Amino acid sequence: MQHPTYQRQWPEGFIWGSATAAAQIEGAGREGGKEDSIWDHFARIPGAIANGENLDQAVDHYHRMPQDVRLMKELGLDSYRFSTSWARVRPGDRAVNREGLDFYSRLVDELLEAGILPWLTLYHWDLPQALEEKGGWANRDTAYRFAEYANDVYSALGDRVQHWTTFNEPFCSSLLGYGSGVHAPGRQEPAAAIAAVHHQHLAHGLAVNALRERGAQHLGITLNLSNSIPRDSQDPVDLDAARRFDSLQNRIFLDPILRGAYPEDSLRDLAPFGLPDVILPGDLELISAPLEFLGVNHYHDDLISGHADDAGSDGHSGGAERASASPWIGSEDIAFPSRGLPRTAMGWEVNPDGLRKLLVRLGEEYPSLPPLYITENGAAYEDTVSPDGAVHDVERTRFILDHVASVGEAIDQGADVRGYFVWSLLDNFEWSWGYGKRFGIVRVDYGTLERTVKDSGKAYAGLIAAAQRSTSRLAPSLPA
């Protein structure tokens, strides 16, 4: 039986896309003038990446880009969300590398020729290693270097790219990169992590204002957001734990951008780690510049307790041997009980209705909320290649369709959601898990690099086609 989502009518202009990140797919780690990012460097640390794997080849998108764009066209994508690599555009954060920018220019041209809207992300975690050696995101100066890099990319692509995302998931590149150490650069320094949160916000604001002055009209940021659900809504300990989780996962990112202020409880909780000290006069006015969209990345939501419970996990332990710390700075005691729900290969609980609740909540709590786009949603499962070479990934297919259905329900309840990007187009380098976790709707054979559309990709293509047919039926007929 066909999933009911195929029969749904979507708002006119709703965008269907897929997403990737430069570091995870490009490869060509030492080609075209590129130098080390923090992830290239991190991958050389013993035990940092599962099986000692690295990004040198990834899935070779750098050389196979035209073929990959043809795949996107075959799937019927309206848009492709990709990132530019700071380490390729400004190797060592020195002069602009024309060869690196030319690669992205060719990609944009290929997309436009295929009728696919380019949706560009400026930062998906690949800080030049040279900047990390000067303090990285714990150093306020990095925010100004980011604005320079953003201007360089706009100079090359701004005539053809309309949609500009400053940061992807600053939670990960700050609290996981500088707090828990499970992500590059692998530091476990709570004060540095909190400084990184603010300096990435500042970098976002500087870039938004700089690009808007140059004529950019569609500017936004992508945050990974979750629901914070107290295990016992009558227990003050659980309620406070859920409050603290919500602060660190959601509100210290949402509030400065959408309200122009950090939450009072976040400032209080994080004062011992220096948050009030890194906020300078004028910062929040820059950070809260109006946006045309907010990208929402969502994979799972979280049951929270303030009591010890090791039945579940926060899902951020990674796949490497190297010991990591807690990313929940000042709240290391919070626990993540299991709800007994099905889990993905990442160990994340599957709860599609959580996405509906999150989207509705955002609209209710943030009066200045811009239009929303689901910029990442997807799942890793243990794929099996059948004798005929196909990948019948039933669980991933169900995951995608059920979550898309939840997006539709959120729209019915008033959420202003205007697009959905599945993660990910391709199997790829999954950070500290190396190549051990597959999120793609297109399978990549890591030996031959051959691409094969999985059943989930075919189902997603069918969903896009059905949505487009529905929209065309609803469109008013034009006079002859």
Residues catalogued as catalytic:
376
Number of helices (H), then strands (E), in the chain? 17, 12
Show the tokens assigned to 316.
């951020």
Strand segments, DSSP code E, in 47-149 are 79-83, 117-123
Instruction: Give phi and psi for 352, each to the nearest 5.
Output: -55, -35
Per-state percent for the chain, helix, strand, coil, to nearest 5: 45, 15, 40
The one-letter code for the residue type at 216 is A
Strand segments, DSSP code E, in 341-462 are 372-376, 417-423, 442-444, 451-453
Question: What three-state secondary structure class fits 388?
Answer: coil
The one-letter code for the residue type at 15 is I
Instruction: Give phi and psi for 240, each to the nearest 5.
Output: -70, -35
Contacts of 147 (CB under 8 A, 6+ apart): 203, 206, 207, 210
What's the distance, CA 115 to chain centroid? Answer: 24
Q: Is the distance from CB of 370 to CB of 292 less than 8 angstroms?
A: yes
Question: What three-state secondary structure class fits 16?
Answer: strand
The one-letter code for the residue type at 176 is L
Paired strand residues for 302: 228
Q: Using CA atoms, how far apart are residues 244 and 248, in angstroms rounded to an integer?
A: 6
Strands 417-423 vs 442-444: parallel, antiparallel or unpaired: unpaired
Q: Which helix (H) or strand (E) holds 466?
A: helix 455-474
